[in-house]
Amino acid sequence: MNNRVNKLMNMKTFSKSLLALTTITLSAQMLAAPVSAAPRSTDNGTSYSYNMNTAASTAQTATIQSSVNMRDAASTSGKVIRKLTQGEAVSVLEQTSANWYKVKDSQGNIGFVSSSSKYIKVNGTSNPSTGSSNSVNANNSNNDDKQPISSSVEDVIKTGMSYLGTPYEFGSNRSNTQTFDCSDFVRHIFKQSAGVTLPADSRQQGSYVKNKGTAKNSISQLKRGDLMFFMSYKGSKASSYAGVNKNTERITHVGVYLGDGQVLHTYSIDSGGVRVDTITGKAWEHRFLFGGSVI
């Protein structure tokens, strides 16, 4: 009888020891499991996993290279919020287009600045995410704007945007980039970026386009990077140009079409030099004569 009791007690002791050992083993395995082995969650029936060790960070820091305006819209026609100074640090929230960053300064102001390396340097190697926060409305969007654009055209536009704010001077010196008039600006950026040497003045540049056979009489037919030619200002309303024979009007201005109803150009001291303007519904739309590609 005593032997049977002893055997039962020994079996209970062994069971308790085995249970304790199993518990310790499982605990050790749970502690050793990486935190990144996070649970899977579902949202509207879609399964996804997430890493608890990964911190989402969408903003990058950048340093202002030279004084530049922070604007309330991604356009040179946007209202100036303040001028950012050389050496100032900002957070880049996103790159809204090839030419603009959405940034936040140390005072909490949020606005847009030119993405040109002349004005801003983003710290790190990765580029900010491209978004759609550009507040400029594009009322003249067309299918041609969406066509693939050659790298040469994009190089020309990138170069042109790097000169935003460069002062205007009628009859500017063609041997430097301190100032530009409209035809000098266009000639310089095409020569520098695409190796295309255009004539020196806007009327000859217009003839160059016509001789290439690329001239288009409608803005809706233009592609990004095409030249745009304009006649003299006669008023801000369409009625001011009623009855005008555009085939005989003299070219007085030239710019580069950016697509989405915008033009990159320079035309006066008061306007601030090289800038981007919206064409649609403005005098520029009524003054337009023709445009076309030179590449």
Does 178 have pLDDT greater than 50?
A: yes
**Residue 140 pLDDT class (50, 70, 90 cuts):** very low
pLDDT for position 114: 86
pLDDT confidence of residue 95: 87
**Ramachandran region of residue 195, left (φ > 0), alpha (ψ -120 to 50) or beta?**
left
Judge whether residue 176 has pLDDT over 80.
yes
> pTM for the complete prediction?
0.53
DSSP track, 212-248? HT--BSSGGG--TT-EEEE-----SSGGGGTT--TTT
pLDDT at 291 over 70: yes
pLDDT at position 267: 96
- Segment among 8-22, 38-52, 63-77, 171-185 with least mean pLDDT: 38-52
More confident residue, 12 or 292: 292
Work out the pLDDT band at 128, boundaries 50, 70, 90. Answer: very low
What is the token pair recorded at 112? 């847009």
Report residue 10's pLDDT band, with 50, 70 and 90 as the boundaries: low
The conformational region for residue 281 under phi > 0 = left, psi -120 to 50 = alpha, else beta, is: left
* pLDDT score for 240: 95
Q: What is the largest CA-CA distance in the chain?
A: 127
In the sheet with 262-265, reading across from the earlier edge strand, the strands are 275-278, 262-265, 253-259, 227-230, 288-292
Q: Are 100 and 114 in contact (CB under 8 A)?
A: yes
Distance between CA atoms of 120 and 65, rounded to whole angstroms? 5
pLDDT of residue 106: 85
Answer yes or no: is pLDDT of 43 > 50.
no
Residue bearing the bigger pLDDT, 190 or 16 = 190
112-129: average pLDDT: 72
Higher pLDDT, 184 or 9: 184
- The answer, yes or no, to whether residue 129 has pLDDT greater than 60, is no
Owner of token pair 């530049």: 68
What number is the average pLDDT over the span 227-254?
96
CA–CA gap between residue 164 and residue 262 (Å, rounded): 14
Predicted confidence (pLDDT) at residue 179 exceeds the cutoff of 90:
yes
Mean pLDDT of 13-21: 52
- Rounded CA gap, 64 and 102, in Å? 13
The rounded distance, in Å, linking the Cα atoms of 122 and 84 is 15
For residues 57 and 291, the model is more confident at 291
